[in-house]
Amino acid sequence: MIELDNVAYSYGGAELFSSLNLALAPGSFHFLTGPSGAGKTTLLKLCYGALIATGGQVRLFGQDARTLDRDAVALSRRKIGVVHQDCQFLDHLTVAENIALPLTVSGRSVQASDVTDLLGWVGLTQQANQLPPELSGGERQRAALARAVIMSPEVILADEPTGNVDWEMSQRLLALLVELNKMGKTVLIATHDLSLIRTAKSQVSARVLRLKDRKLQLAGADL
Amino acid sequence: MDKLQRILDLIAGDPQADRAVPPTGFTARLTFLAAAAMAFLAVFALALSLATGRLADRWSAELAKTSTLRISAPAGQMDAQTAAALSVLETTPGVAEARALDDDEQRALLAPWFGADLPIETLPVPQLIEIIEDGDGFDPTGLRARLQAEVPGAVLDDHTRWREPLVEAASRLRLLGIVSMLLIAGATAAMITLAANAALAANAQVIRVMRLVGAQDIYIARAFVRRFTLRSFLGAAGGTLLGTFAVLLLPRADAAGGFLTGLGFQGWHWLLPLTIPVLAAAVAFFATRAAALRTLQEQS
């Protein structure tokens, strides 16, 4: 689905990482961890075509990301649901409209039942007509997750989804992501929250990758 | 049909797509007012262009229909040469009427320079013959040759030296009107481009989010293009209405008033201002589309 072969990325002359290999197989569950500034967000952006690798090859659904034009990248993003730490909503639209936005921009008809079902799944039925600034941190993350899955994507990429929420809410978000994985979705979560990883490993078969010293390593028993 | 459908889709719009980009009051007002002001000016430029076109045609036609024959001869031969000239003119194809001006008419012509009590009969003033041409007119070269042979003191003035500079002046004015309309269209495009760029910059976060969820450039651009096209159309419609009303209030064409009283529209030309809002919308469409696609490329 998403493959990184010998990928390097430099910014402003400084190499963030190099010789990086990763393959997200269908239905897999990965955690990406590492210290702040190691390049977790950059790696995620490479995975959804927001950045182009300065070396090596990134393949999105079999296509070399370097050869994709902006429209092709936009089409590939419809198969990738992205959850950001800061959620990135349109603050003038209601929660329901924000969740339906991927359907709207892809020209698909928005069925009220699709949005209603998702709102129920993430527990935001009561907040459907509120504006994003009126939501709490946990509610915003759940709304972002609902928006990420409304197109029924094959891959879910989450960048520090529990960064701004309390432990209870992080467990709830994790449960939603595990549920999506059990439905066959590929999940990659970038996080520095090791307790979240430990909890997840008891629920799902997850690989943990550590980005450190410009290399990607498989993390082991130290977690 | 496909293009027509796309135009209809653009007008109808997509309410959900329109909601995605929040309205920005500043650029909306700027676009509306700029389009209205430019349309107002375009109505006058159009009126000027059409009026000067009419003037050029009229001057050309009116002066082309008349000529003057001037006979300079000693007093004793003046009547004979006048009669000979009239005889030549009567048999010249293309001459509808030829008439020798009497003393009173010649005095009236000289009155502005010498006063009304000029003793014209005591002065060696040439005899003037007014020639009215018929539809096709006469051949001036042939007529001059005949007059030279039969009336040596006759000089034919077919008004060419008067007509040409006047027609040229009117044509230049018409060109000036057309250039003014092109400049107005260019200035409108520039202002709308600036407003569109401001709107795109103000909505950078909106664009980022739309891209994140899979929006293609053309989809994002369309939301801006539709908004600016409609604003320009409505602004230009208002400006055109006001401009046309102002032209309507101008004095009607009057011979005594000369050029300044004939600036309005005539006949079916009153329908031409209707094209201004459509052209303004077209200018806005292409200007915004180019600005949006360029900005989206730069932001990628």
Over the stretch A92-137, which tens digit does the pLDDT of each residue have? 899 999 999 998 888 877 777 778 888 988 888 999 999 999 998 8
B26 located within any domain: yes
Interchain CB contact of B16 with A (< 8 Å): yes
Cα–Cα distance measured from residue A181 to residue B58, given in angstroms and rounded to the nearest whole number: 84
Same domain assignment for residues B121 and B198: no
Q: How many CA atoms lie within 13 A of B197 on its CB side?
A: 13
**Residue A160: CB partners within 8 Å, gap ≥ 6?**
A40, A85, A190, A191, A192, A193
Cα–Cα distance measured from residue B78 to residue B31, given in angstroms and rounded to the nearest whole number: 73
Mean of pLDDT over chain A: 87
Same domain assignment for residues B181 and B295: yes
Supply the DSSP symbol for B73: -
Same domain assignment for residues B211 and B279: yes
Same domain assignment for residues B143 and B290: no
Same domain assignment for residues B133 and B251: no
Total domain count for chain B? Answer: 2
Interchain CB contact of B19 with A (< 8 Å): yes
How confident is the model over A8-27, as a mean pLDDT? Answer: 87
Task: Look at residues A73, A86, A11, A87 and name the one whose alpha carbon lies nearest to residue A43.
Answer: A11
A→B contacts (Cβ < 8 Å), by residue, are: 50, 70-71, 74-75, 77-78, 82, 84, 88-90, 92-93, 97, 100-102, 104-107, 110, 147, 151
Which residue in chain B has the smallest CA separation from A74?
A: B214
* The pLDDT of residue B112: 78
ipTM of this predicted structure: 0.83
Interchain CB distance below 8 Å, A74 and B215: yes
Backbone dihedral region for residue B207 (phi beyond 0: left; psi -120 to 50: alpha; all else: beta): alpha
Cα–Cα distance measured from residue B146 to residue B88, given in angstroms and rounded to the nearest whole number: 8
What phi and psi, each to the nearest 5 degrees, are found at residue A37? 85, 0
Interchain CB distance below 8 Å, B20 and A101: yes
CA quadruple B110, B114, B119, B122: dihedral, nearest 10: -80
* The pLDDT of residue A134: 93
pLDDT, tens digit (0-9, with 9 covering 90-100), for A151-176: 888 999 999 888 777 788 888 888 88
Same domain assignment for residues B253 and B293: yes
Same domain assignment for residues B13 and B128: no
Domain extent, residue B134, equals: 73-152
Same domain assignment for residues B178 and B135: no
Six token digits for residue A69: 């034009």
Which residue in chain B has the smallest CA separation from A105?
A: B215
B157 located within any domain: no
Interchain CB distance below 8 Å, B20 and A82: no
Interchain CB distance below 8 Å, B206 and A90: yes
Same domain assignment for residues B178 and B288: yes
Cβ neighbourhood burial of B54 (10 Å; 0-12, 13-18, 19+): middle
Output the pTM of the full model. 0.72
Same domain assignment for residues B47 and B79: no
pLDDT, tens digit (0-9, with 9 covering 90-100), for B261-296: 567 788 888 899 999 999 999 999 999 999 998 888
- How many residues are recorded in chain A? 223
Same domain assignment for residues B241 and B146: no
* The pLDDT of residue A222: 46
